[in-house]
Amino acid sequence: MVELGLHLQTGSGVAKDEVQARKLFERAANAGNPRGITNLAALGGGAPSDPVKTRALLSKAAEANSAEAQYQLGVMMAGGIGAPQDDVAGAPCLKKPRRKIIRGRWSR
C-alpha cells in the first residue's frame, strides 16, 4: 500500500495522483504502519500544512521505532514546528536514528 502511494505521489511508473497517494498513506497510517505514518506526515499530516498533526503522526511512527520518523520529529522539535521549540527533547531524536543507521552499515 505504501509503495503504491509513493509511486502515485511521485508519478513513478504511473500517473501522478497525490490525492490517491494521501488516501493510501492514510489507510496505512490508520493500520499502524510506520512508513505510512511517515509518508502521510511528509504530505502535511493528512491536511495541507498542518504541523501539529504532522508532529503527532511522527511521534506515533517514532514510537514504532521508525528511524526516519525519529529524525524528522527531532527536526520539528529543534525548530519549534508544530509545538514550542524543545532542543533538549529534540537532540536524542536526531542522534538515535543516526546510531541505527551506522549500526546497520557496520553489521552488513
Q: Taking residues 77-102, what's their average pLDDT?
A: 81
Radius of gyration of the chain (CA): 14
Which residue segment(s) compose the domain that 13 sits in?
2-106
The CATH number linked to 19 is 1.25.40.10
User: What are the CA-CA distances from residue 16 to residues 20, 41, 44, 55, 65 (Å)?
Assistant: 9, 19, 18, 26, 30
Provide the domain count of the chain.
1
pLDDT of residue 100: 58
97: pLDDT strictly greater than 80: no
Per the confidence metrics, is the pTM higher than 0.75? no
